[in-house]
A and B are shown apart, each in its own frame.
Chain A
C-alpha cells in the first residue's frame, strides 16, 4: 500500500497491518522490524516502513479518567480530536497540543509535540505520567519518571524507535470555557517580534506568523499572537450561559492537487503581504473559539493538496536562545534571497527543556513549508547549514530530506540514543524509513 506522511513526500510502498489486540501485535513484532504509525500527521517518513508499518488506530479505547486530577488513561491510537470532544464539555483541555487535532496519543508522545505554550508548560512530556511500551520480544513495560526512567525518557520524542506505545496516562488541564482571548500584535521587523516574545513570557500561548519573503528593513516582520483561556468574565451573557458550546466549523476541502504553477514567488508574496496588512488592521483583542484558534487548518480537509502532486516538505529547526537572533536573521535572509516563499512560516519561543532525545530546547523555533522542487531542496540544505552554524537542531516529526551527516552533527545526544537502541535489540525490531535515512 502506497503511504506517505502529511507532506506526501516521500511515498513508500508499505506492508501495512492493523492489529486490534496485544496478542496480534506480539505476533507481528516477532516477524521482524517494524514501525508504529498513528494518524500519519507527521510530515515526512517517520511513520513509514516498507517491511512493516503498524497502523495503531485499532487501539483506540479510553480506559479511565480521574476527575480529581484530570488524568486520562487511554490506548495509543485514540485521536486528540476525540479526547477534546469527550472532555472539553466537562471542563478539560489537553495541556499540550500541536496545530492539528487529528493526531493520535501515541504519535504525540513519540514526537514529544509542542504547542504554543512551550515557554510556559513545556512539551508533551510534561503532561504524560506514564507509558506502556512493547519491546521487540513482545514484552510490555510500564515506564515513568521513576520506573524504567531511561525507557520513558527515550520513548518521549523517540519517534517510535524504542518500541510500540500501547497505553499512556495523560494529564489534562482544567479550563473554564471553550474560548480563547486572543491578542494580535504587529511587529514590523524581527527585533520587534523577538522583543514582544520576551515581554510576553507570562502569556499562556504565543506564536508569530512571519512573512518570510519580506527583506531589508522589514526582514522578519510578523504578527505575534497571544492567547489565554477565557474565563466567564471574558464572555458575554449568551456565551457565559454555555461556555463550552462553540459554533461548529464549516468544513471545506481541497478537492484535487493544485497545479505546480499555482505556488510561486508572486502568489505567495501577494498572500503574505495581504495577510500582513489584514492582520495589522485586525490588531488587538478578539475572542476566538478553541477549534479556530488551535486548529485553523483542520477546517480545510486535504489542505496538503495545495502544494500539488509532488508534495511538500517542512523545515523546522530550533536555535539556542543566545544564537537565536543572528541565526534567525541568517535563515530569513537566505529564504528571502531565494524567493522561495512559504505560506506558513511560524515562529515560537521555547522555554527550557531537558530531555534525552526530543526536539525542544530553550530558544526560538522556525517552521516553514515548501513545495518539493530541486530549488527548495537545495534551499533547505542551506538552511540546515545555517542551523548547524548556530548550534541548532531539527524536528524529526517534520523532516523528510535531511542527511544523516547533518543530524549527527547537530545532536550530541545521538550516540547515547543509539546505544540505548542497540542494548536491548530495539534497533533490530523497530525501524522506519526515517531511521534508515538518518542512521538511527
Chain B
C-alpha cells in the first residue's frame, strides 16, 4: 500500500524538517516547500536516503498569496497530509515602533498560512479526505507583554484552525492544531530554556505523526504544557496585567 504524500510548508525550518523525517520514517513520500527551494536539495537527499521514500522540493513563498493556487496545481501529486510549519517570531520591540514590522509578523504567522490552508481545505473537502496540520503556538493562548504581536497572530491562526476543523468535521477532512511549547531549534538557540519544558525536534515530529494517526484535535508536544497554559489562562486579568511575563 502506498501512503499519500506529505506536503511540508516551511520545509527548511527545524520543525518542518522534523515532521518530514517522522512522516518519511513511516513511509510517506515528502514534498518540501520553501523559499529558495534549490538550496533544500541536501535535506531532500538526506530524507530520501534515510527513509527510502521519494522526496521533491518546491519553490514556495507563503506571502505571495496570489501564487498559492498555482503552487498547489504544480505539485506532482495531491498531498494527503499538509503540514504548515511556517512561522516568524520577529522582534517584539521592532513590532512596537514599526507597524510594517508588526504586519510582517502577523501576515507570516496568520494571514498567509490561513490563505494557503484555506485553499488546501477546499481541495481536500472536494476529495473527501485529507489531514491539515497547523503548527501554532502556546504564545497564542494569552497575549503577553513580551511577544503579543507574534502571540496575537498565532491566536488568530489557532482560531482559524479550530474553525476549519469545525467546518470540515463531517467531510472526512481532519485538522490538527499543534502548540509546540519550547522546542530546541535554531529559532531558540542561545535562549535559556527550562529542560523539562523543552522538546527536541524529533519528539515534536513523533507527536505530530501520532496526532495525525489518532485524529487528535489539539496537542501540546509535551503534556506539561497543557497544565502550564491552563494555569496561565485562568489567572484573572487584573492580576495578569501586573505580572512581568
Question: Which residues does B use to contact A, with CB under 8 Å?
Answer: 42-43, 45-46, 49-52, 186, 189
Contacts and interface: CB of A to CB of B under 8 A. Distances in A.
Contacts of A90: 52
Contacts of B51: 86
Contact of B45 (A18, A63, A85, A86): A63
Nearest to A58: B186
Given A61-B42, A65-B49, A72-B49, 17 more contacts: A18-B189, A20-B186, A61-B43, A61-B45, A61-B46, A62-B45, A62-B49, A62-B50, A63-B45, A63-B49, A64-B49, A85-B50, A86-B49, A86-B50, A86-B51, A89-B52, A90-B52
24 contacts: A18-B189, A20-B186, A61-B42, A61-B43, A61-B45, A61-B46, A62-B45, A62-B46, A62-B49, A62-B50, A63-B45, A63-B46, A63-B49, A64-B45, A64-B49, A65-B49, A82-B50, A85-B50, A86-B49, A86-B50, A86-B51, A86-B52, A89-B52, A90-B52
Contact of A63 (B42, B52, B189): B42
Interface string A54-95: 000000011111000000100000000010011001100000
A177 B49 CA distance: 20
A18 B188 CA distance: 13
Interface string A210-237: 0000000000000000000000000000
A157 to B, nearest CB: 27
Contacts of A64: 45, 49
A64 B42 CA distance: 10
Nearest to B51: A86
Contacts, number: 26
A65 B45 CA distance: 10
Nearest to A86: B50
Considering the complex of A and B, which 8 residue pairs feature the smallest CB-CB distances, nearest first? Answer: A61-B46, A62-B49, A86-B50, A62-B46, A61-B42, A65-B49, A62-B50, A63-B45
A228 to B, nearest CB: 27
Interface residue SS majority, chain B: helix
A63 B46 CA distance: 6
A20 B17 CA distance: 14
Nearest to B50: A86
Contacts of A61: 42-43, 45-46
Interface string A135-175: 00000000000000000000000000000000000000000
A61 B45 CA distance: 8
A65 B52 CA distance: 11
Contacts of A63: 42, 45-46, 49
Contacts of B189: 18
A72 B42 CA distance: 14
B54 to A, nearest CB: 15
A347 to B, nearest CB: 36
Interface in A160-212: none
Contacts of A86: 49-52
Nearest to A65: B49
A264 to B, nearest CB: 34
A20 B43 CA distance: 13
Nearest to B42: A61
A295 to B, nearest CB: 19
Interface string A31-68: 00000000000000000000000000000011111000
A89 B189 CA distance: 35
Contacts of B186: 20
Contacts of B43: 61
Contacts of A72: 49
A90 B45 CA distance: 17
Contacts of B42: 61, 63
A17 to B, nearest CB: 10
A86 B51 CA distance: 6
A106 to B, nearest CB: 16
A53 to B, nearest CB: 16
> Which of B49, B51, B52 is most buried by chain A, counting CB atoms within 10 A of its CB?
B49
A39 to B, nearest CB: 14
A85 B51 CA distance: 9
A213 B18 CA distance: 48
Nearest to A20: B186
A90 B186 CA distance: 33
Nearest to A63: B45
A61 B47 CA distance: 8
Contacts of A20: 186
Interface string A1-43: 0000000000000000010100000000000000000000000
A82 B50 CA distance: 8
Nearest to B44: A61
Nearest to A18: B189
Nearest to B52: A90
Contacts of A82: 50
A61 B55 CA distance: 14
Nearest to A72: B49
A89 B51 CA distance: 10
A63 B189 CA distance: 25
> Which of B43, B46, B52, B186 is most buried by chain A, counting CB atoms within 10 A of its CB?
B46
A130 B240 CA distance: 60
A89 B43 CA distance: 21
Nearest to A89: B52
A133 to B, nearest CB: 19
A62 B55 CA distance: 14
A90 B46 CA distance: 16
B49 to A, nearest CB: 4
A21 to B, nearest CB: 11
A62 B42 CA distance: 8
Contacts of A89: 52
Nearest to B14: A20
A62 B45 CA distance: 7
> Which of A18, A61, A63 is most buried by chain B, counting CB atoms within 10 A of its CB?
A61
A114 B139 CA distance: 49
B53 to A, nearest CB: 11
> Which of B42, B50, B52, B186 is most buried by chain A, counting CB atoms within 10 A of its CB?
B50
